[in-house]
Structure formats: structure tokens, C-alpha cells
Structure 1
Amino acid sequence: MWERKVLTVLLIVNLAITPGCWSKKELNELAVVMALGIDTHENGYAVSAQVLNSSETGSKKGGSMGSLPVVTYKSVGKTIPDALQRMLSMAPRMPYLSHVRVLVFGEDLARLGVSDVLDYISRNHQLRTDFFMLVAKNGKASDILEVVTPFEYVPANSLYSSILISQKKWAATGKVTLQQFVTELKRSGSDPVLSGVQLNGSLAEAQSLENVKQISPSTLLQHTGLGVFKGDRLVGWLGEPPSKAVNYVLNRVDNTAGYISCPDGGIVGFAVNRADTSLDVTLNSKGIPEFSAELEIEADVNAVQCPIDISQPAVIDELEKDIEDKYNTNISKHIGLVQQRYGSDVFGFGEVLHRKYPDVWKKYRDHWGESFKTMNIRVDADVAIRRIGSIIQPINQKVDEP
């Protein structure tokens, strides 16, 4: 009996000294930040915060006051937290960063280096690590966050969704999170990449709700390939074909499309529905590393615009070989382009060497950027065509009359 009384007393005491929701924050006290933009400034950093306008998000027709679903606040500070604090002179609520979907760097800042920014971003306990990071190509991050977008009512959600779908179906962009970027930045023998985004149209028109009330919006956001980093600094840009090559080597291609030329004119289109890449390294007779990238690709024929008989196994075999040759040629060419132009190992070949031959890696790690330019890299693609579609012969194929 006495044990029960003691337990009761302990429970009462425990309840008395245990705080309740000591860290609670009411929604009407917070400015929920959906996207952050960071640019360089002569006085430090220019920070843009796209804040959810909670009073307007409940209506798809512009809200009770006819305003937009988000508000973008801008401020300047010596550090990122300093700029966010200064934002309180304009924003009526405390910025809340736990729901950030997208972080955009201005190109000028990215070329100077993003380590100092990432220090704050990684250190802040509010920020999660699953948001996507982008670079504003040829522009400022603040401009990107001022564009009113179609389909998604909140522009940050539009950016987030467009990265997902373009990376999955197009293969020329990349969904890079904070954790992934920092891992590649700190890992020995690799350099990171980030997707680029730019304005396609006029900024003045992009800021108005009228922009998305047209059948053809005057201004849209457009993803523009990959930005190549060397360490924490942006050193250049890759167009669509080399960006796809990088993603193939990094094993980040889910689906995409391509085509090859027919011997007698015309083209055959194909859709990639699986792509796996494995990297390896061997040492030649002189002890110099030689790398290989082996691709296994499954594809479907989705367009035949030349007179071939794809019902014949020999024709399918020839198509597979032609596609393999195209992959081997193009990916080898674009790997060489990155090697010679940037000396940046965005493919992670140095990490492969580090894992397999750690003693050899020690000879190269201090000057890997220069050594990488001279490394021999072989590409070997193995393509299997799985399906040829609902019809066999091309529609324009001539039929032999009896």
C-alpha cells in the first residue's frame, strides 16, 4: 500500500516540475519561409525569404484581400542570421525556416564560394536537410523568388516539383539536397554539382499575378543544366548533353529520351526506363590509375521515322549496337570536356580510387584536380531494347502489293 502512495507522490511531483509545451510557437506568430535566396552584397549577404501568406493560401482565387499567396522579404546583413534578424523591421512575424523547400544561390555568390553560407544553413537547428539547392544562372537569387508560377499556387512548391519531375523524366538536371552537397564537398576525391535555374522572360511581368492568367505566360522559370563546382566554388556551366552525361555517370538517371540516326536517313527514337552505372579503377603496368564507367541501359523504341523492319531480331541487335556506340562516344566526349575545361571531378572517380587503392590515392589527393585532367576513362554501355511499341512497322512504310 505504501509503495502505491510513494508512486503517486512521485508522479505528482514529476508533473509539477515537468514543463509543458515550453517551445511552442503559434502559427499566427510565425512567418513560414518556403524558399530562401542568398546573394552577395558589398555589406555582406542579401537574403530573400519567400514567406507564406497564410491569410491568402486558403483560396485559389487570390484570397480575401486579392493578394498573392506569398510575400518576399529582402534584407542585408554581415551574416545570414544578421540579415534574417534585420528582416524583422519589415516582417510582422518571426521567420520560421523548418518548411523551406528550395534554397537558391545567386551566381556571383556561388562563384565566390558557398562554404560560409552552408555553415549557417547546416548549423541552424530549424532547417532540415531535404530541401533542394539551385544556382540562379546569370542572375540573382532574389529575382528567382519573385516569379509568380502557374499550376502551383506557392512558387517555392513549383520550383520543388519541377526539379523532381525534370530530374526523373529529363535527366539534364539534378535534385541535390543540402546533405548530399555537403557530403560530396567534404568527401575526398569528388566535387559537387548543382542545377541551374533562370528567368525566361521579363522580371517585371513575372512579379504580377497577371503573368499566370495568360494562356502563354510572359515569364517562366527554366532549369538550365548543371553548375560545376570545384570545391565550394562554381567554376562553370554544362549544357543539356554534358549534364545528361554527368547524371548517367553519377547513376542519377531514371527516365529520359534519345534518338539515333538511320543509315539511309531518318531517325529512331528511344525511351530509357532503366539506367545503372558502375565505376571502377585498375592500375596499369606503370601503376597509373585507369578508370571505367560501365552502363547497363534498358530502353523502348518510341519512334521510327525511317524504313526499317523492326520485327527482325537482327535489326533490333543493330539498333542496340548503334545506341551503345552513341552512349560510348558522347559520354566519353563530355567526360573529357569536364576534365579539360574545369579539372573538376564531379563524377567521383577520385573517390573510387580512394576506396580501392588508398595508398595510391595518397600520391594524388593533394593535386587531384590537375591529375584528373590526364586520367584515362573508358566508357562501356550495354543497351537492351525491351519493347518496340504497339505497332511493328512504321506508318509510312510502303506495303508491297500482291
Structure 2
Amino acid sequence: MYTKSLRCILLLISLTLLSGCWSRKELNDLAIVMALGVDLDKDGYAVSAQVMNPGQSGSLSGGSNGSLPVVTYKAKGTTIPEALQRMLSTTPRSLYLAHVRVLVFGEAFARQGVGDAVDYITRNHELRTDFFLLVAKHTDASTILDVITPFEQIPANSLYSSILVAHKNWAGTGKVTLQQFIVELERGGSNPIMSGIQLQGDTSEHGSVKNVQSVIPRSLIKQAGIAVFKKDKLIGWLGEAPSKTVNYVLNEVESTQGSITCPDGGVAGFIITNAKSRIKISLNQKDEPEFVIHLKAEANLTALNSRLDLSQTASIRELEQRLEAKFDNLMAANIRQVQEKYDSDIYGLGEELHRQYPKLWRSYRKHWDETFRTVKVSVQSDVAIRRIGSVVQPQQKEMEEK
């Protein structure tokens, strides 16, 4: 009898330790936020939230009531949490932030500094750290989130996918998550970057379904290169070629294409299929660091508008040397441009100095941005052409021989 009573008491005690579903959230009570936008406002922050409309997410033509797959809610507040809470006065459901794919900052806000916004995001337990950070070039974040995009029903998914595709196949833009941005922000030997996006075309109906009801959409969201930061503030933009240089140095190039001039004045197109870089540091007679970026790349020929005889090994080597010269000169020039114009080490040279010469780094740490402006940086590349295609001789030469 005593044993039976003891078992009942232990069973009752164990029930109090079970959490059950006390923290459950019903899907019908949630508004799933796919993208967030933060802009500058005179009273603090102007926040936009792109929310999925689950009843219409399968069609861009709208449902029975004519609604679209997403709805963008906007509110202002002295802090970002206050602005999000103020949205609840217009949304029929509670905002759920765990599925955010992209966070867009307006350019004006980014130039003032994104530190406070990043602080809130890292404190919010719902938000993950694997979504992409973007800067809206020459416009507000709210304008970007208003655009109805083709292909993807949810514009936030379109933004997310376009970043992945552009970075993987073109390498002319960044692919920066919140976690990566925070790591670079906290380091003393580098500055962070972000991906840039901008609105292209007629913006009069960018938020209407009419935007995608023609063969050529009236307005599109276009990748706009890399946004350069110094600490948490946006200080400038990089074009296509300088953005590729950043990705080469950071080992972020998976594939990209380009062209070179042949010895006879023709043009050869190529695709980079593999690229790896490493930074070597040496000290000059004054014990000042000098950096050499060693780039090793593999390429395939994709086009040839020349009479060059590709059956000759010397011809292939000539193209390789021209590729190497292009990399050496163009990358070095792009790095000098960033040094002289922005004084922002977005290549991680200071971090590499810290890693290779920790004692020397102590003397540069507090004034590295000033040192970065004048430090010597050169590029040495080694390019191997692996494939020339199934046609050895160019068509132009074959037609002349017939």
C-alpha cells in the first residue's frame, strides 16, 4: 500500500515538470514575415515588413478577393521593436520573424550606421542569423519591398534566390549573412561589406500585379555590386569589376566570365571554373608589411573571335599569360582604388597581418585604417586553361581555308 501511494505521488510530481505545449503558436494566429526593411525617419526608424498571404501564395493573379501573395505593412517608432509592435494596430495577426529571408537597409539609414539595428536583431530570439543583409542603392528599403517580382510568388524569395544565383555564376555581388557581418564588424583588421540592390525601370506601378503582366516587366530589382562599410556605416559603392576583385581576394568566386584581347586583335571569351587566393606578407627594410595576393585560377574558353591556332601549345600559353596580366593589373588597380577612396580594409589584410605577425599587428591595430591607405599590395596570378571546347580551330579560320 505504501509503495503504491509513493508511486502515485512521484507520478503527480513528474507531471508538474512536463512543459507540454505552453509556448505553442497556432499558424492561423501568425503573420509570417519574409522580409524586413529599415529606413531613416526623423523620429527614429521606419520599418517595413513583407508578410506572406497564405491564402493567395500560389497565384500572382490574386484570389477571389483580388489580394496578392504578400502584404507589406509599415510603421514608425523610436526603436525597431516599437515600430514592429505598432504594426499590430493594422495587422490581423502577430508578426512571426523566424522565416525572414532578407533584411534591407535604405541607403540613407545605412550611411548613418546600422549598428543599432544589428543590435536589435541579435537580441531577438525569433530571428535567425542566416538571412542576407542588403542595402537599397539610391532608394528606400520600403520601395524595394513593394516590388512585385516575376517567377517567384513571394518577392522576398526572389531576392534571396537572385543573390545566390548572381553570386554563384557572376561573382559581381556580395552574399553576406547577419552572422558574417557581425564577425567582420567585431574584428579589428577588416571592415564589413553588404550586397547592393537597386530598382530598375518604371517605378510607377512596381507594387501592382501589372508590373509582371507583360513580357518585359516594367520594373525589376537589380544587383548593384558591393556596398563598402567602415565599421557600421556605409561609405560608398563598388562597381562590377571592383566587386569581383573583393570576391577573388575573399575566396568567394565560384564561377564568372570575362574576355581578353588576342595577339591578332581578336577577342577570346572565358569562364572561370575554379579560383583560390592566399595572402603572403613580407617585411621591407623598414619592417613595414607588404602584401602579395597569390591567385590560382582555372578557366575554360567559351568563345574565340580570332585566327589563333589553338592546336599549338604556345597559343594556349599566350592566352594564359594574357589572362594572368589582366588579373594582375586589374585587381591591383581595383585594390588601390579602394585604398585611396575609402580607407576601408574590406579585403581582410589587417586580419591576415594579425594572423601571420601577431606582435607586429599590435603596433598597427589602433591606426590600421590609416596604414591601409598607403600599404603596398600587389597581385600575382597563375591561370591554367583546362578546356578549349570541341572545336579546335575558330570558325573564321576554317571558312577562309575552304
Bin of the TM-score, shorter chain as denominator length: over 0.9
Q: Summarize the Cα distance change of 1:204–1:400 in structure 2 as closer, same or farther, 3 Å threshold.
A: closer
Distance 2:112 2:215 in 1: 39
In the alignment, what sits opposite 2:291? Answer: 291
Cα offsets for 1:196-246 (capped at 9, x unmatched):
101002322111101111100010000110110011100000111111111
The answer to whether the aligner puts 1:171 opposite 2:176 as a matched pair is no
RMSD: 1.6
In the alignment, what sits opposite 1:49? Answer: 49
Cα offsets for 1:323-352 (capped at 9, x unmatched):
000000000000000000001000000001
SS at match of 1:147: coil
In the alignment, what sits opposite 1:252? Answer: 252
SS at match of 1:76: strand
The answer to whether the aligner puts 1:119 opposite 2:130 as a matched pair is no
Alpha-carbon shift at residue 8 of structure 1 (Å): 6.5
Distance 1:195 1:9 in 2: 60
Q: Summarize the Cα distance change of 1:395–1:358 in structure 2 as closer, same or farther, 3 Å threshold.
A: same
Distance 1:11 1:60 in 2: 54
Distance 1:269 1:139 in 2: 35
Cα offsets for 1:100-151 (capped at 9, x unmatched):
0000000001000100110001110000000001000001000000000000
In the alignment, what sits opposite 2:238? Answer: 238
Q: Is the 8 A contact 2:242 2:334 kept in 1?
A: yes
Distance 1:226 1:401 in 2: 48
Aligned residues: 402
The answer to whether the aligner puts 1:358 opposite 2:365 as a matched pair is no
Distance 1:76 1:206 in 2: 23
In the alignment, what sits opposite 1:140? Answer: 140
Q: Is the 8 A contact 2:246 2:347 kept in 1?
A: yes
Q: Is the 8 A contact 1:188 1:354 kept in 2?
A: no
In the alignment, what sits opposite 1:20? Answer: 20
In the alignment, what sits opposite 2:380? Answer: 380
Distance 2:315 2:6 in 1: 86
Alpha-carbon shift at residue 390 of structure 1 (Å): 1.6
In the alignment, what sits opposite 1:208? Answer: 208
Q: Is the 8 A contact 2:344 2:369 kept in 1?
A: yes
Alignment of 1:103-114 (within 5 A): 103-114=103-114
Q: Answer with 6-15 or 206-215: which moved more.
A: 6-15
In the alignment, what sits opposite 1:226? Answer: 226
Distance 2:93 2:67 in 1: 18
Q: Is the 8 A contact 1:271 1:301 kept in 2?
A: yes
Matched letter for residue 358 of structure 2: P
Q: Is the 8 A contact 1:56 1:64 kept in 2?
A: no
Q: Answer with 143-152 or 359-368: which moved more.
A: 359-368
Q: Summarize the Cα distance change of 1:388–1:108 in structure 2 as closer, same or farther, 3 Å threshold.
A: same
Q: Answer with 35-44 or 11-20: which moved more.
A: 11-20
Q: Is the 8 A contact 1:255 1:273 kept in 2?
A: yes
Q: Summarize the Cα distance change of 1:20–1:289 in structure 2 as closer, same or farther, 3 Å threshold.
A: same
SS at match of 2:110: helix
Alignment of 1:63-74 (within 5 A): 63-74=63-74
Matched letter for residue 335 of structure 1: I
The answer to whether the aligner puts 1:85 opposite 2:78 as a matched pair is no
Give TM-score scaled by structure 2 length: 0.97
Matched letter for residue 382 of structure 2: D
SS at match of 2:95: strand
Q: Summarize the Cα distance change of 1:400–1:199 in structure 2 as closer, same or farther, 3 Å threshold.
A: closer
Q: Answer with 10-19 or 67-76: which moved more.
A: 10-19
Distance 2:142 2:124 in 1: 21
Matched letter for residue 360 of structure 1: L
Matched letter for residue 292 of structure 2: S
Distance 1:3 1:258 in 2: 82
Distance 1:399 1:150 in 2: 43
The answer to whether the aligner puts 1:37 opposite 2:44 as a matched pair is no
The answer to whether the aligner puts 1:396 opposite 2:396 as a matched pair is yes
Distance 1:206 1:146 in 2: 7
Q: Is the 8 A contact 1:246 1:346 kept in 2?
A: yes
The answer to whether the aligner puts 1:180 opposite 2:180 as a matched pair is yes
Matched letter for residue 374 of structure 1: T
Q: Summarize the Cα distance change of 1:400–1:233 in structure 2 as closer, same or farther, 3 Å threshold.
A: closer
For structure 2, the residue ranges without an aligned partner over 5 or more in a row are none
For structure 1, the residue ranges without an aligned partner over 5 or more in a row are none
Q: Answer with 12-21 or 179-188: which moved more.
A: 12-21
Q: Is the 8 A contact 1:50 1:73 kept in 2?
A: yes
Q: Answer with 352-361 or 326-335: which moved more.
A: 352-361
Q: Is the 8 A contact 2:60 2:209 kept in 1?
A: no
Q: Answer with 281-290 or 169-178: which moved more.
A: 281-290
Matched letter for residue 134 of structure 1: L
